[in-house]
Each structure stands twice: as structure tokens, then as C-alpha cells.
Amino acid sequence: MFQNIFDLAELSVGQHFYWEIAGYQVHGQVLMTTWVVLTLIAILSFSGNKNLKDTPDGMQNVTEYITEFVRDIAKTQIGEHDYLAWVPFLGTIFLFIFVSNWSGALIPWRLIEIPNGELAAPTNDINTTVALALLTSMAYFYAGFSKKGLGYFKRYISPAAFLLPINVLEDFTKPLSLSFRLFGNILADELVVGVLIALVPLVVPIPLMLLGLFTSAIQALVFATLAGAYIGEAVEEHH
């Protein structure tokens, strides 16, 4: 029975280019595209903040707009008293998902040949989306515990003790829904566009690619908003 479980855990979607690191196999193609995304974010950050001006222009306008946008999300979801501490976390989550999603829509990853498998957006891999969801779970656990101490765990028996199993199950479903929603939407979008480009390579895929850019941005917004909502729920004072 245990062997069957191990065999099931080894199943994967598609072919992958594996790297051997400290005795473990990791998806090399995901690490490569992740480094590209992180490099793009670093370039955006440094170019927008290296020569700050009282009257912003150019890339400083872009970075300040993104910062204000994330601050509004954090303030709305977490509350005025606690939101500032979580702006960096939500901003990092939002930017990484946004740039990753758009890289899948704008960069022709599949034209780059690797020994096995193919390149795609980092969020096109379930391991990436699960990691982001688990980071979000750790963040709202930390937020609640750091503010309320052991009193945070009262939420599991609120408003009644018999709700304990349901409240515990909810903490497992949150990362599952976050990870599979993001992974499923990005994978489906890239598959549809890829099939249409193969069948009708000129005009038809363009509107779908533009729609993919829009939905990719929405997925980043949804993930960051839900992460903020979970953190806000953890730090909320119940009376």
C-alpha cells in the first residue's frame, strides 16, 4: 500500500528538466525562469528608485504607483492599524505572480531549447503555486500568533467548540484553493493559446493573448487580495 502511495506521489504533468541538488531532484526549467522573473523585478526596482525625485517621472512613477496600489490592497484587507507591516510581503507576492504570469504570455519560452521538457512561466508549475500558498499560510499564522499569542487558537472553537474540525479543515483548504486556482488558470491559458497558435498561427491567437494578459494580472490581484484577507482575518479582534 505504501509503495502505491509513493508511486502516486512521483507522478508529474509533462516532461521536466531535472537538476540534482543535495541529493534531490528539482525542476531546473522552473528555477531558470524564476531567476529571469526575479531579475526583471530587480531591474524594475533599481531603475525606479536609484535617483528619487520630489516630482516623480518615468520608472519612479511606475514603482510608486505599484507601491500605492499594494498599500491600498493591504489597508483594505488588513486594516489601518496593522497593514503597513505586511505591505512588503503582499507587494512581493503580487509582483512575483504578476511578472511570472506576464512572462508566460509575452516571452516565447518554448523557442528556447533545453535537454528535456520545455520552459514556461514559473506559475505554470504546481510546485511554485503551492510554495506561494504555503508562504501565505505561514504568514497569516505568524500574523495571528504574533498579535494574539496563544489566544489566536481560540478562533478554532469560535463561535462553538463543535466547529473545531471545520475550522481546522478550513486552514488546509485555503492553501489548496490558492495554489490550484493560480496554477489551473495559468496552465489553461497557455494551453489554449498554444493550441490556437499551432492551428491558426496569425490572427486568431492575438485577441486571446491580450485576454491572457488581462486574466494574468487579475490572477495576481486575486492572490494578493486573498492573502491580505487571510492575514486580516488572523489579526482581527473578535468581541
- Identity of the highest mean pLDDT range in 101-115, 123-137, 162-176: 123-137
What pLDDT is recorded for position 175?
Answer: 86
Mean pLDDT confidence for 56-73: 87
Beta strands in the chain, from DSSP E residues, in sequence order: 18-21, 24-27
Q: Omega before 201 cis (within 30°)?
A: no
Number of neighbouring beta carbons within 10 Å of residue 11: 6
The per-residue pLDDT for 139 is 92
For range 115-135, the mean pLDDT? 86
Choice between 208 and 148, residue whose per-residue pLDDT is larger: 148
Quick one: which H or E segment has residue 35?
helix 28-49
Q: Tell me, what's the pLDDT at 235? A: 85
On whether the CB atoms of residues 127 and 30 are closer than 8 A, the answer is yes
Mean pLDDT of the chain: 81
Rounded Cα gap, residues 239 and 232, in angstroms: 15
Contact (CB, 8 A) for 121 and 220: no
Q: Give the pLDDT score at 82.
A: 83
Q: What is the mean pLDDT of residues 85-99?
A: 93
pLDDT band at 238; cut points 50, 70, 90? low
62 contact partners, CB below 8 Å, separation of at least 6: 44, 48
Q: How far apart are CA 69 and CA 220, in angstroms?
A: 13
| pLDDT in the model for residue 58 | 78
pTM to 2 decimals? 0.83
Of the candidates 43, 81, 98, the residue with the CA atom closest to the CA atom of residue 225: 98
Average pLDDT over residues 198-220: 75
Whether 60 has a pLDDT exceeding 60, the answer reads yes
Local structure of 42: helix, strand or coil: helix
